[in-house]
Structure 1
């Protein structure tokens, strides 16, 4: 009987000790997992070429949209290749003579000359996702403009896209304004393909909401993507509309930043690959 009691007592102590060790390990892991490192960024964190889009307005003028590329070089210089829509007017041109700087807390500032806009563009940014994403805020007086950039090429590397990059099905949404239509939104799907000559083709359906009036659409179009991951597209719908647009491809083709470039139209949105 004494031997049995000793065995039970010994087993109980062993189990109690094991449970204590497990609890100690859990709380240690929890404490370590709950701690956060302070941000730590350098010029290398936010260097490279980014595809980006921004939306907002110029006070007293109208909607202001941006779609294109910018490159942060490790030496603190930068340039850009941008299409902008200002109150329905498409304006394209390079951004030159740029500079940028980033702090260790991953916030930064930048500027470049946009001659087509007759503007020295200034902006603040935050590098997130290890520099793969940059949150953007324009800081020019009288301009309300914000957006996001996704890295498409590391520093010293060139973007590399073609029509095949976009083959597949996408869900998308966009919105803006049209002549005599102050507000509209669209959501739907499209499928990209290439023909035997590698020309980009697409078909899709969506719902067009103009000031609360819903219209289903069937769309057929073409697209071309350049090796710098910028491109253009065109489509017709079953309502008789013919629409041109520009786009920038990021995330290896998984995401498309879209902006209309028809006169009088201010429209932008985003498409995501349906995986």
Structure 2
């Protein structure tokens, strides 16, 4: 009987410590994230500036790029933007438009198409006040991560 009690107590203690470890790293079960979040499409509204660097990977080759730009989120699931891109030392300017989703847990996706016909996909995370977002490009062959900050005109 004592052995069973120690086993149960050990299991409860282990589960509690694992829960604390998750809390320490800012991880929470999905249902907890949804309960305490209030993100919606209209949270992203206004002008955001960003800069990013990364690589386009083709086989064993890594082609570096850097980009600086401005996104304008309309608060309704649409966005427009412009940027200067430097790919392997060659600069160009682009304009683009796109759509985005935003879940109540402040996670979203975006899809943009630029004036050259290139379509890109992103996963992003937004602060609860909508001032900052972080994203990664999810298209195969791209390695990049970016922060955007709201800078209304």
Q: Does residue 214 of structure 1 match 2:91? A: yes
TM-superposition CA deviations, 1:15-49 (whole Å, max 9, x none): xxxxxxxxxxxxxxxxxxxxxxxxxxxxxxxxxxx
2:72 to 180, 183, 191: 191
Aligned to 2:120: 243
| TM-score of the aligned structures, taking structure 2 as reference length | 0.74
The answer (yes or no) to whether the contact 2:72–2:79 under 8 Å persists in 1 is yes
Quote the Cα distance in structure 2 between the aligned partners of 1:210 and 1:249. 27
Q: Does residue 268 of structure 1 match 2:145? A: yes
Q: Count residues with an aligned counterpart.
A: 130
Aligned to 1:46: none
2:53 to 169, 175, 180: 175
Greater C-alpha Rg? 1
The answer (yes or no) to whether the contact 2:37–2:128 under 8 Å persists in 1 is no
Q: CA deviation at 1:77?
A: 3.9
Q: Does residue 165 of structure 1 match 2:43? A: yes
CA gap of 1:253–1:101, structure 2 versus 1, over 3 A, is: closer
SS in 2 for 1:252: coil
Structure whose residues are more often strand by fraction: 1
Gaps of 5+ in 1: 1-74, 79-98, 103-107, 111-133, 135-148
Structure whose residues are more often helix by fraction: 2
Quote the Cα distance in structure 2 between the aligned partners of 1:158 and 1:225. 15
Q: CA deviation at 1:76?
A: 4.6
Gaps of 5+ in 2: 1-15
Q: CA deviation at 1:179?
A: 3.0
How do 1:8-87 residues align onto structure 2 when only pairs under 5 Å count?
A: 76-78=17-19
* Coordinate RMSD, CA, aligned: 2.7
SS in 1 for 2:39: coil
Could you list the structure 1 runs, at least 4 aligned residues long, displaced by more than 2 angstroms after superposition.
75-78, 179-182
CA gap of 1:101–1:218, structure 2 versus 1, over 3 A, is: closer
2:136 to 239, 250, 259: 259
Q: Does residue 100 of structure 1 match 2:21? A: yes
Structure number with greater CO (CA < 8 Å, separation at least 6) is: 2
